[in-house]
Chain A
Amino acid sequence: MVGSVTTLPLQADDTVLLPERIGDLTGLDAYGVGGELLAAFIAAFIVGNLMLAMTGVAGPWAKRKITAAFTDRIAVTHLGPAGLLIIVADAVRLLSKEIIIPENADRPAYDLAPIVVASSALLGFAVIPMGSGIHLADPEVGLAFVFAVAGIASIGLVMAGYASANKYSMLGGLRAVAQNVAYEIPLVVTGMSVVIFAGSLQMSTIVEAQAQTLVSIGGIDIPAWYALVNPFAFVLFLVANFAEVGRNPFDTPEAPTEIVAGYQTEYSSVYFVLIYLGEFLHIFLGGALIATIFLGGPAGPGPAELGIVWFLIKIWGIFLLTQWLRSAVPRVRIDQLIEIGWKGLLVLSFANLILTAVIVGLIA
């Protein structure tokens, strides 16, 4: 791909990655390596802030509105249209809180943990094709990269749990890692059953493979989204993903009624914001992954320029589902959580992988 930069057309083309497009549009290409780096930085800045904005809307506003709707209440109405300005108010409020660091805290680790949690989640978005040309990078190891980067968050949670020097935090951190570890395998193995169809880990290839027509009913082409090709894998992935991001019914590591707030008990002010941000980014990263490998990525009716709209609709749909579950289902106990993971999902995910391989093999 290096060297072909100057010959790329300017019009919206999904095969052109965002840094190249920006390099082209701004003329940064002419400045050699420095220009390339700057274009990559601008593109990364756009993607990073897009995700930050989504988290900003989701955390202080959408989450409250949705929960209120599910529990028959009215929430955030006072500031701005539909209470939207609460986002600004909350940002100022949370950042200007006094920070209280427990006296026994293990300092470097205690300070680093929130950064690790927030950064690792954000990094996963680098390889997600969001449509309308918003696609930062497309390495061949795409899918494995997302799993690898998302896994780093576990380290942050253990650091937070251990360094806080608090019994609740310690238990929460241990629970978090046991849970992430238990559901990582089903998640990856189920993701692998999609790789068998696409024959590649590259995100753009996986999305393209889903653009084919599965069946035509009454003149409407149903695309071969892997959620329709292999619904069993889709459901498995969805469940494993809820556990991986620690949402209900798998929010055992935080379990407010048992261990206060788990690993984030001793975090206040900006550190709390960062951990909270990381959690929301993880929910969105999970949604982005589901949208990309099961729901056709940015595909949808209408012109290709609408890609980002469809993509956002899909990941907000997954977010809505997590909030629905939060209001609707009870939490599982830690022993149930481990048993569901190791005895249920793990076995089912391997059954799914082997069945998929056999069926694909027989057809091919």
Chain B
Amino acid sequence: MNDWIAIGALALVGLLIPLGMMVVSYLLRPSVPETSKRATYESGEIPTGGTRVRFNIQYYMVALLFLVFDIETVFLFPWAVAYLDALESDAVSLLEALGPMLLFVAILLVGLAWAWRNGAVQWAQTPRQVEADSDRQ
């Protein structure tokens, strides 16, 4: 049997279970509308301002960094699968099997070092770091 049929079947079951629970809940639950019951929760205070707040730019930096490394892992998977077989078949030497991967990872780690140095993965700075930064400029 095809594996993906079974996986598709579990995807279907995975959808049916939440939907089933939602139906049961719909049949059981009461509805008691009250004034401002549906207001946005802000610890019991009257909500102020919009909720689409500005957020730290660091979230964006980290996401960019992730994209690069995620693609890297995708490229590393085939290498990891083939590595031991390639060595045992004696078709390639250790250097030929390992070298390109090391170079590939090294290039990305240089990128990480650059991002690290520029504070892309640094959420908050201590006063001393702020001082060092202003000295450098």
Residues of A within 8 A of B (CB): 1-2, 5, 17-20, 23, 36-37, 39-41, 43-45, 47-48, 52, 92, 95-104, 114-115, 118-120, 122-123, 125-127, 136-139, 144-145, 165-168, 170-171, 174, 177-178, 181-182, 184-185, 188-189, 192-193, 195-197, 199-201, 260, 265-266, 269-270, 273-274, 277, 334-335, 338-339, 342-343, 346-347, 350, 353-354, 357-358, 360-362, 364
User: CB-CB < 8 A to A165: which residues of B?
Assistant: 40, 51-52
User: CB-CB < 8 A to A260: which residues of B?
Assistant: 41, 43
B105 at the binding interface (Cβ < 8 Å): yes
B128 at the binding interface (Cβ < 8 Å): no
CB of A334 within 8 A of CB of B62, answer no
> How many whole Å from A199's CB to the nearest CB in chain B?
4
> How many whole Å from A149's CB to the nearest CB in chain B?
9
For the A-B complex, the count of residue pairs with Cβ-Cβ distances under 8 Å equals 235
CB of B121 within 8 A of CB of A44, answer no
User: CB-CB < 8 A to B41: which residues of A?
Assistant: 102, 166, 168, 260, 265-266
Residue of A with least CB distance to B48: A167
Query: A199 and B83 in contact (CB under 8 A), knowing A44-B6, A274-B21?
Result: yes
B38 at the binding interface (Cβ < 8 Å): yes
> How many whole Å from A92's CB to the nearest CB in chain B?
8
User: CB-CB < 8 A to A353: which residues of B?
Assistant: 76, 105
User: CB-CB < 8 A to B32: which residues of A?
Assistant: 98
Query: A41 and B9 in contact (CB under 8 A), knowing A166-B51, A338-B123?
Result: yes
CB of A122 within 8 A of CB of B17, answer yes
Given contacts A127-B7, A201-B81, 6 further A-B pairs with CB under 8 A are A19-B6, A92-B28, A196-B84, A270-B25, A334-B123, A338-B58
CB of A167 within 8 A of CB of B2, answer no
- Tell me the bound Cα distance from A104 to B50 in angstroms: 10
Residue of B with least CB distance to A38: B9
User: CB-CB < 8 A to A96: which residues of B?
Assistant: 25, 28-30
Query: A174 and B1 in contact (CB under 8 A), knowing A96-B25, A137-B7, A358-B98?
Result: no
CB of B31 within 8 A of CB of A98, answer yes
Query: A136 and B51 in contact (CB under 8 A), knowing A195-B77, A199-B84, A361-B94?
Result: no
User: CB-CB < 8 A to A270: which residues of B?
Assistant: 21-22, 24-26, 29
User: CB-CB < 8 A to B25: which residues of A?
Assistant: 95-97, 99, 269-270, 273
- Tell me the bound Cα distance from A270 to B19 in angstroms: 10
- Tell me the bound Cα distance from A269 to B94 in angstroms: 58
User: CB-CB < 8 A to B135: which residues of A?
Assistant: none
CB of B55 within 8 A of CB of A123, answer no
CB of A199 within 8 A of CB of B40, answer no
Query: A201 and B66 in contact (CB under 8 A), knowing A339-B122, A350-B109, A361-B97?
Result: no
CB of B28 within 8 A of CB of A115, answer no
> How many whole Å from B75's CB to the nearest CB in chain A?
11
User: CB-CB < 8 A to B65: which residues of A?
Assistant: 342
Q: Which of B9, B31, B73, B81 contacts A185 (CB 8 A)?
A: B73
CB of B15 within 8 A of CB of A343, answer no
Q: Which of B6, B76, B121 contacts A338 (CB 8 A)?
A: B121
> How many whole Å from B5's CB to the nearest CB in chain A?
5
- Tell me the bound Cα distance from A132 to B131 in angstroms: 62
User: CB-CB < 8 A to B21: which residues of A?
Assistant: 95, 270, 273-274
> How many whole Å from A32's CB to the nearest CB in chain B?
12
Residue of B with least CB distance to A117: B18
Q: Which of B10, B83, B88 contacts A126 (CB 8 A)?
A: B10
Query: A102 and B121 in contact (CB under 8 A), knowing A40-B1, A118-B14, A200-B81?
Result: no
- Tell me the bound Cα distance from A274 to B17 in angstroms: 10
CB of B84 within 8 A of CB of A104, answer no
CB of B7 within 8 A of CB of A104, answer no
User: CB-CB < 8 A to B121: which residues of A?
Assistant: 338-339, 342-343
Q: Which of B14, B51, B69 contacts A48 (CB 8 A)?
A: B14
CB of A41 within 8 A of CB of B13, answer yes
User: CB-CB < 8 A to B130: which residues of A?
Assistant: none
- Tell me the bound Cα distance from A80 to B8 in angstroms: 38
